[in-house]
Chain A
Amino acid sequence: GAVVSQHPSRVICKSGTSVKIECRSLDFQATTMFWYRQFPKKSLMLMATSNEGSKATYEQGVEKDKFLINHASLTLSTLTVTSAHPEDSSFYICSARSSIGTQYFGPGTRLLVL
């Protein structure tokens, strides 16, 4: 199956710092990528839809200035958590949608803000 990578896989940072997470589709081009957040033993909650070459579409309740998304190319989307706080600690997962509609997910990034 298609491969989506995320980097870093785990990050620990101090409160107030910004953290960038990269999501790459390795063997296909993805005009649309998605960013999800998952709390322990919970389902995935869609944060935003990232469209190559245009602004991201954020879900209701997600602060766009807090979670900056850039989809610079057909294979790369980045999520920057700005001025991170402990409540931002979570598991962040990206996905990339193939031309036939299948979404392939990255391995996730575990963020811990101290």
Chain B
Amino acid sequence: SQQGEEDPQALSIQEGENATMNCSYKTSINNLQWYRQNSGRGLVHLILIRSNEREKHSGRLRVTLDTSKKSSSLLITASRAADTASYFCATDAAGANSKLTFGKGITLSVRP
């Protein structure tokens, strides 16, 4: 069953604007990872945030994690048309046999 649930499901913004995507999950996690997928392609790992971390940055990406609310957000600043893709959050559940569980994904469209 899918644990991560992203919202919104689809987001359309103008180039230069910021894009904020949210993810909620249900169970305890070791870490949460955000991925990007261009149409018909594999997934590109964007950022991993551990359960004891609250915020991480990577270039134009900023990820936050609130374990009390079981939620995470991905912020893309100064968006570009090339950021157009689907974005997925995936949770690595706590426990010996951890595995990633993916949300349904968010389709981001950045208009030039």
Name B's A-contacting residues (CB within 8 A).
Answer: 2, 30-31, 33, 35, 40-45, 48, 88, 90, 92, 97-105
Contact = CB atoms under 8 A, between A and B. Distances in A.
Given A34-B99, A101-B30, A108 B42 contact: yes
Contacts of A101: 30-31, 48, 92, 98
Given A43-B2, A57-B97, A110-B40, A103 B102 contact: no
Chain A: number of interface residues, binned into ranges: 20 to 34
Interface of A: 1, 6, 34, 42-46, 49, 57, 91, 93, 95, 101-108, 110
A42 B40 CA distance: 11
A45 B100 CA distance: 10
5 contacts: A42-B104, A43-B105, A44-B102, A101-B48, A103-B33
